[in-house]
Structure 1
């Protein structure tokens, strides 16, 4: 019994280093966090001192950038922009992109005579054009439809490691279904006259071959659907006559034997099948009219100024401010390199 207090005292003594270690750990942790904040504060102070020492240079470049951005913004408001959403057929997207790049090169070279010939306008009207842009126009819903169309016709094993995200990453610029074309001009009349011709793609042997094949396939599908529709109508007529005929061999009043076979066709299923054929026929007819043009214009909008807000004033002000920071840092970096070289 006399040894028990001594044992408790020894255990309490042994716990003292543990608590000391824990307290030192917390102390070092808080000191480390404090040093981080001190370092951040020190960096901010040094940065403010750097700004103060170069305030004239940075201020001048900031004002120049803002003035340049404001000037470009005002100039852009004087222009007219046509935005077209187009759908290329027969794998003509690559040729359309090349045409847009070619028109831009003609503007850069100020070859307005050739540009006018290409866009079917006069040389004077062609001189009003400022630039041409093209980019894919899509959303995940449209891409998902394309992926589903491809997946239904591909091997299931091949699709195991080919996800929708992989499908999107594998897309090239010429693989999209829709594109957004922007045309900028200083004259609205010239823009309205030439905008449809900007997205026009002339037929080459490949486009002609694909157009012919598509039209023939669509025509065959339309004839097939129309024949199926006539057959369904004939069956429905025969079914209605059989229902009115009292001598018909009806088992339950809602079914009729077809071609003497044991299988029976439900009246409701006939109408559902007819509805499906009408939908497929409508789809094929839409394709037929889509194939009349190499590039279909889905939407067309003309607006004065830029359609998309680019915030040129703020953008150029920040860019020139960053340029000023780089210029101001060059002497500091130069002195640091010289000092470091001397130490070595």
Structure 2
């Protein structure tokens, strides 16, 4: 008789060894994690013990740093800021960004107060208070979604398969948005209203854009005049119809008949085209709606740049806590004290080791 194979027992042994190895791996992993937390705890404990033993020194460093920082802050100039929100027309965004970069160069890097004073129509002393000009698009997720929807509808069926919302967002640049926030930094909080008018004029100083603005205004005026003439014609037609209706109402009414107005060659066509007063009124309303749309467009495109929000009457403090010495110096003094005591402790440790 042939002997039975011990294969099932061998498989159980292999599985047991596998689970044992997995258990050992998890055990070592958790011990490693635990050793990290124990190490962090020991370091924090040693640091607390060190600070407790030299608490007077660290308290003195904090008080001294805070006092010196407070005095420095009292005697230093405060930095104020204010924002101007604009809407660009006629693809003028690039021109605006270039002008802002130039203003920032003059104020922050070159410190050319005479050129700033000339462009903004202020004195040289006031121009010296300007410290920087900044611009960024005013991002809104809803506006980006609307832009994506309009762009997606213009694509063909193949392009729509590839163009996702995330890919569309990645393709956007700072010039893709119509609304932008312009920030100005100054040490004079009351300077913003003085520079606002001249500053906005300087942002759109471009002959090409001026020509586009003029041409667009003329086109809108012609469209509005044409629609106005159409409104006047429909008014005249409505008046004539009203006269006919009054005359018809004074005649003896025939059962089943109504008051109809035949326009153009409608009668010669066998009376198949009949226009009543409601169609005339609807046409007039359509012209009026189009005129209102033109009025809205004229208001939006009246200037190359629309100011959506002006500078406030005075600026506000834009300094971060890192710019205030009364917060920074205590931290610096404490770190210096820690380094000094660390070097002293390291020196003592090396002396002890050299004696062994």
Q: Which residue of 2 aligns with 1:28?
A: 25
Choose the corresponding residue for 2:293, options 264, 268, 283: 283
2: distance between equivalents of 1:70 and 1:256? Answer: 90
* Bigger Cα Rg: 2
2: distance between equivalents of 1:66 and 1:277? Answer: 73
Q: Which residue of 1 aligns with 2:187?
A: 186
1:170 deviates by 2.0
1:264 deviates by 7.3
1:298 deviates by 0.7
Which whole-Å deviations, capped at 9, do the CAs of 1:131-183 have from their partners, x for residues lacking one?
A: 22111113122233444444555656545433443333222223320111122
Q: Which residue of 2 aligns with 1:342?
A: none
Q: Does 1:37 align with 2:34?
A: yes
Q: Does 1:208 align with 2:202?
A: no
Q: Which residue of 1 aligns with 2:351?
A: none
Q: Does 1:312 align with 2:313?
A: no
2: distance between equivalents of 1:70 and 1:156? Answer: 68
Count of aligned positions:
312
2: distance between equivalents of 1:270 and 1:74? Answer: 76
2: distance between equivalents of 1:73 and 1:248? Answer: 96
Does the 8 Å contact 2:81/2:318 carry over to 1? no
1:311 deviates by 4.2
Q: Which residue of 2 aligns with 1:300?
A: 310
Does the 8 Å contact 1:250/1:256 carry over to 2? no
Q: Which residue of 1 aligns with 2:136?
A: 135
Alignment of 1:141-156 (within 5 A): 141-151=142-152
Q: Structure 1 residues 238-247 or 181-190, which shifts more?
A: 238-247
1: distance between equivalents of 2:21 and 2:68? Answer: 58
2: distance between equivalents of 1:163 and 1:295? Answer: 32
Q: Which residue of 2 aligns with 1:111?
A: 112
1:21 deviates by 4.3
Alignment of 1:55-204 (within 5 A): 78-108=78-108, 109-151=110-152, 157-200=158-201, 201-204=203-206
2: distance between equivalents of 1:198 and 1:179? Answer: 15
2: distance between equivalents of 1:265 and 1:48? Answer: 95
Structure 1 177/264 Cα, relative in aligned 2: closer, same or farther at 3 Å? Answer: farther
2: distance between equivalents of 1:68 and 1:248? Answer: 100
Give SS of 1:138's match.
Answer: coil
Which ranges in structure 1 are unaligned for 5 or more consecutive residues? Answer: 1-6, 332-344
Structure 1 155/283 Cα, relative in aligned 2: closer, same or farther at 3 Å? Answer: farther
Which whole-Å deviations, capped at 9, do the CAs of 1:236-270 have from their partners, x for residues lacking one?
A: 7788776986569879x9x9887637577798787
Q: Which residue of 2 aligns with 1:340?
A: none
Structure 1 113/231 Cα, relative in aligned 2: closer, same or farther at 3 Å? Answer: same
Give SS of 1:302's match.
Answer: coil
Superposed CA RMSD: 5.1
Which ranges in structure 2 are unaligned for 5 or more consecutive residues? Answer: 344-356
TM normalised by structure 1 equals 0.65
2: distance between equivalents of 1:267 and 1:37? Answer: 89
